[in-house]
Chain A
Amino acid sequence: MNWTIILIAVIYMVAVLLIGVWATKRTKSSSDFFVAGRSVGMFVMAIAAFSSIQSGFGMVGGTGSTFLNGLGFVTGVMVAASLGFTLTWFLVGKRMWKMGDLGEIYTLGDVVERRYSSKTVRGLMGFAIALGVIGYLGTQVQAMGVIMSTVFPITPTVGALIGLALIGFYSVGGGMLAGVYTDLLQGVIMAVVSVLAFFVAIDKGGGIMNMTVTLQHSKPLMATPYGTYSMITIASWFFLFSLGAAGQPHFITKFLMIKEAKQLKWGALTSSIAYMMTTLLVIGIGLAAVVLNIQGSFPKLGSSDQALVAFLLNFTSPVVAGLIIAGLMAAIMSTGNSFLNLGAASIVRDIPKAFNLKLNNELLWSRIAVVILLVISTLFSFYLNTLVALLGVFGWGTFASAIFPSVVLGIVWANATKQGAIGSIVISLAVNFILEIGGKYGLHVLPKGVVNGAFALAVSIAAFITSPC
């Protein structure tokens, strides 16, 4: 326990709470709750988009992966994702904004119903997103517990509950308005501290040249952009994480929040650069930890995911460690908030409307839905680990394969059909479930190294385009 780290973490949490209070006072309608009143400017939107994409998975898991297997994760996932921002802006930036200008378009369910005149597509979209949200939230709960327990003298369970209470406070009250402005704070913290962390890590590793030579002498593959990953995995990731970015609901719904089309112009550049800055943290600390481990000066770890926190606590000053840990909390909370909002929209708006039901006082029900989602995901996370793992299947790959064809290609292609949208969503869910669950029970359909989500994305795109009218 270090009081400097605790002080920085507490200051960060108080700032988030204050934004939550401010946003709660300004949230008066469903539009405010789901799309921040369509009032967001370029910088806020771009940073919110980047910070919702950059989660605990990327920063904690990415650093652990680099520590264990070299740069393959960064090459295949993080470099690809930074390109994904631009592809998304090119493909749907203006078109999604235009969609949002048509009236009450707050969710992807609204978008696909408008596009295909089909409540079935809306219902399927809401169902897929709701399932994915519960799975994703479960993983964020666990990550929050780990980070909180490194800062405060508490157990991971208590840490997760405190963190969730904080996310719940500003998500229930301020909805997406609170979400985008806390994302702004969190995104700026993440980006700035990541650059700082990169230079600290390179210094601790003895400089880039020294690090390269040390890695070469230990295991030459660790000095390459591939690490110990196979090329088939890296190529699959590169496809999934760049093109699939346009299928992430917590990202593309941000286009519905922009107040004017001209705000789109510099958004892709802002998001890409901010994401690249956070990638520097993963590269720097991941490789520095490997080098220090080779030199015998890195502590023994129970899991590679502990590499980042172990580096911070053992090789940086409390101020630097506190700032970076605040950045990690920011990564987890910003993603968690986005998913809570998406889940509430699916439960309160998309699924009922698919059955011709409309809830009175949608804002109140949305706030209740956020609380219910928090409770469900917490219970799943604490008591039903297996279920969380199964729902976690609905990660990036499932969102990409279910949403990219029906939403992105549907918007850009006039000949897209309702049948194609329904077929691609069903196929994407089925392929992901079968491949992931089959893999857990020893049924490996694809060649070793091929990423299931990448295959599902490719197949669902093909099914969408070739579906009969």
Chain B
Amino acid sequence: MVSTNRLIYALLSMIVLVILGMLTASWRVILYPYLFVIGISVLIGLISLIQSNRKFIWLPIGLVGLYLLLFIWLDVVSWGSPTGGGDSVNYVLGLVPSTAIFFLGIWPVSVLAPLLYAWTFTKDNSLASRVTESKYHGV
């Protein structure tokens, strides 16, 4: 069963990796664990819904999977190029491939994510996390 405690400790483990990435100047060790932090944040938001219907766990998993796919693709396109893919002779709608992946792929996920929020909103009518509700001061 998914619990807030587990999610918070999963968040901690990813944050520790992010700190290590910063201390060792390894941007991939910052970025890729952070994509899982995004998924954990969505999981925390949906926890009461997921506890009542486990199939909704695929929403945060799908979101993280999509981000991973797009960022790995961007990494591959830019990787090994001192210009970050800026010298490409291929264009997508007038943009070099790395810029196209970012602004036509990764950026629009910022619209997909709130659509997921709106879609799950009416399904999760608890108004606040029932998990924590009874544990602190009546909230």
Contact = CB atoms under 8 A, between A and B. Distances in A.
A224 B95 CA distance: 9
A90 interface: yes
A83 B41 contact: no
B12 A414 contact: no
A208 B92 CA distance: 10
Contacts of A254: none
A283 B26 CA distance: 27
The binding surface of chain A is classed by DSSP as: helix
Contacts of A269: 111, 114-115, 117-118
Contact of B137 (A91, A117, A412): A117
A446 interface: yes
Interface residues of B, number: 68
A82 B128 CA distance: 24
B44 A90 contact: yes
The binding surface of chain B is classed by DSSP as: helix
A93 B41 CA distance: 12
A95 interface: yes
A239 B83 contact: no
A444 interface: no
B30 A89 contact: no
B91 A99 contact: no
Given A226-B78, A414-B131, 17 more contacts: A79-B106, A86-B113, A90-B41, A90-B42, A91-B41, A207-B94, A212-B91, A224-B85, A235-B28, A238-B31, A239-B34, A261-B127, A412-B4, A414-B132, A446-B22, A450-B25, A459-B19
22 contacts: A75-B102, A83-B110, A85-B110, A87-B42, A89-B114, A94-B126, A97-B127, A115-B139, A212-B96, A223-B96, A224-B86, A224-B98, A225-B98, A226-B78, A235-B30, A239-B31, A243-B38, A261-B127, A269-B118, A283-B103, A465-B9, A466-B12
Interface of B: 4-5, 8-9, 11-12, 15-16, 18-19, 21-28, 30-31, 34, 37-38, 41-42, 44-46, 74, 78, 83-87, 91, 93-96, 98-99, 101-103, 106-107, 109-111, 113-115, 117-118, 121-122, 126-129, 131-132, 135-139
Which 6 residue pairs spanning A and B have beta carbons closest together?
A90-B45, A220-B86, A208-B94, A447-B25, A268-B114, A209-B94
